[in-house]
């Protein structure tokens, strides 16, 4: 069950530094939204506020509202741990747990939530998640080997498998391909194409072609200047953004004339 996200007037601070200002946008369920923009404009910051991951950084806080299907995820009685179960995240660098095997990595989120599940169910989830991440065929014979022994691209798909194993409704991806070769990148893009049938996906990318290939909607962020907070310049359908952006800055960025 994918869900929609509505962000309204979001400001994000790291201590006294305002990193992002006045961001408002919506993400449709079962779609891919790409966040693009120059380095340091706050894409990762905005992405992290969508599942309250910024809160693990000391001093970081957000103002504004983020609604998940109408429910305010910053509400007073909302548990950030539950928010993160519903809104999963994949990071720029593959980060499998080094103490765990491939299988244990996939099941980490389920094993460590404190609920007991029958073994047969877990086995099923391992296969389903690894198939979902297009990794099953490559690792099915070595599920008990360390996850850190896989190639970078495989590790990243393992991390995706780990993220989808807990059945989130939204998947956030922060430059998931930037540490990968073109083949692995394609594998992950194909995967995103499949995943959007089930999940709402928000992806940060520096790769214009990638944004054009995988997303329905593109949001362009920019910095007003050094030390100033990042802002959302424009958000529209990817087709519109790449063919006919309304803002000059967007056009400059997309055509590579800046940033």
Question: Where along the sequence are the contacts to another protein (CB under 8 A)?
Answer: 51, 53, 56, 58, 81-86, 88-89, 91, 93, 95, 97-101, 108-109, 112-114, 145-146, 148-149, 159, 162-163, 166
Tokens matching residue 146: 């360390």
Q: Which does 91 bind (CB under 5 to 8 A by kind): ligand ATP, Mg ion, another protein, none?
A: another protein
Contact map string, positions 29 to 48, toward ligand ATP, x by CB under 6 A: ----------xxxxxxx---
Identify the sign of the CA torsion 127, 131, 137, 142: negative
Report, in Å, the least distance between residue 47 CB and another protein: 11
Among 1, 24, 56, 57, binds ligand ATP (CB under 6 A): 57
3-state secondary structure the chain: CCCCEEEEEEEEEECCEEEEEEEEEEECCCCEEEEECCCCCCHHHHHHHCCCHHHHCCCEEEEEEEEECCEECCCCCCCHHHHHHHEEEECCCCCCCCCCEHHHHHHHHHHCCCCCCCHHHHHHHHHHHHHHCCCHHHHCCCCCCEHHHCCHHHHHHHHHHHHHHCCCCEEEEECCCCCCCHHHHHHHHHHHHHHCCCCEEEEECCCHHHHHHHCCEEEEEEECCCCCCEEEEEEEEHHHHHHCCCCHHHHHHHCCCCC
The number of beta carbons lying within 10 Å of the beta carbon of residue 38 is 16
Report, in Å, the least distance between residue 39 CB and Mg ion: 7
User: Of 26 and 99, which has the nearer Cβ to another protein?
Assistant: 99
Report, in Å, the least distance between residue 207 CB and ligand ATP: 11
Report, in Å, the least distance between residue 182 CB and ligand ATP: 20
User: Of 70 and 227, which has the nearer Cβ to ligand ATP?
Assistant: 227
Q: Which does 136 bind (CB under 5 to 8 A by kind): ligand ATP, another protein, Mg ion, none?
A: none
User: Of 44 and 101, which has the nearer Cβ to Mg ion?
Assistant: 44
Q: Which does 45 bind (CB under 5 to 8 A by kind): ligand ATP, Mg ion, another protein, none?
A: ligand ATP
Report, in Å, the least distance between residue 211 CB and another protein: 22
Q: Which does 82 bind (CB under 5 to 8 A by kind): another protein, ligand ATP, Mg ion, none?
A: another protein
Contact present, 42 and 230 (Cβ < 8 Å): yes
Residues between 1 and 20 that touch ligand ATP (CB under 6 A): 14, 17, 19
User: Of 30 and 85, which has the nearer Cβ to another protein?
Assistant: 85
Report, in Å, the least distance between residue 119 CB and ligand ATP: 40
Binding site for Mg ion (CB under 5 A): 44
Contacts of 74 (CB under 8 A, 6+ apart): 52, 62, 65, 66
């Amino acid at each position: 069950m994918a869900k929609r996200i509505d962000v309204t007037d979001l400001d994000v601070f790291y201590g006294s530094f305002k990193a992002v200002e006045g961001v408002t946008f919506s993400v449709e369920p079962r779609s891919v939204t790409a966040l693009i923009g120059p380095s340091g404009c706050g894409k990762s910051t905005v992405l992290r506020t969508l599942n309250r991951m910024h809160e693990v950084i000391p001093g970081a806080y957000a103002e504004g509202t983020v609604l998940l299907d109408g429910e305010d995820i910053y509400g007073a009685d909302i548990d950030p741990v539950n928010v993160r179960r519903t809104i999963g995240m994949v990071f720029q660098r593959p980060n499998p747990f080094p103490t765990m095997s491939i299988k244990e990595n996939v099941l980490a989120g389920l094993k460590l939530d404190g609920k007991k599940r029958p073994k047969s169910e877990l086995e099923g989830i391992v296969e389903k998640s690894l198939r979902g991440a297009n990794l099953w065929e490559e690792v099915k014979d070595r599920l008990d080997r360390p996850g850190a022994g896989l190639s970078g691209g495989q590790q990243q798909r393992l991390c995706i498998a780990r993220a989808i194993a807990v059945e989130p409704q939204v998947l956030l991806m922060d430059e998931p391909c930037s540490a990968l070769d073109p083949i692995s990148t394609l594998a992950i893009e194909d995967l995103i194409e499949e995943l959007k049938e089930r999940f709402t996906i928000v992806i940060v990318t520096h790769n214009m072609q990638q944004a054009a290939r995988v997303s329905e909607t593109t949001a362009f962020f920019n910095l007003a200047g050094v030390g100033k907070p990042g802002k959302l310049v424009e958000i529209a359908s990817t087709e519109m953004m790449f063919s006919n952006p309304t803002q000059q800055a967007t056009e400059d960025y997309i055509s590579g004339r800046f940033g």
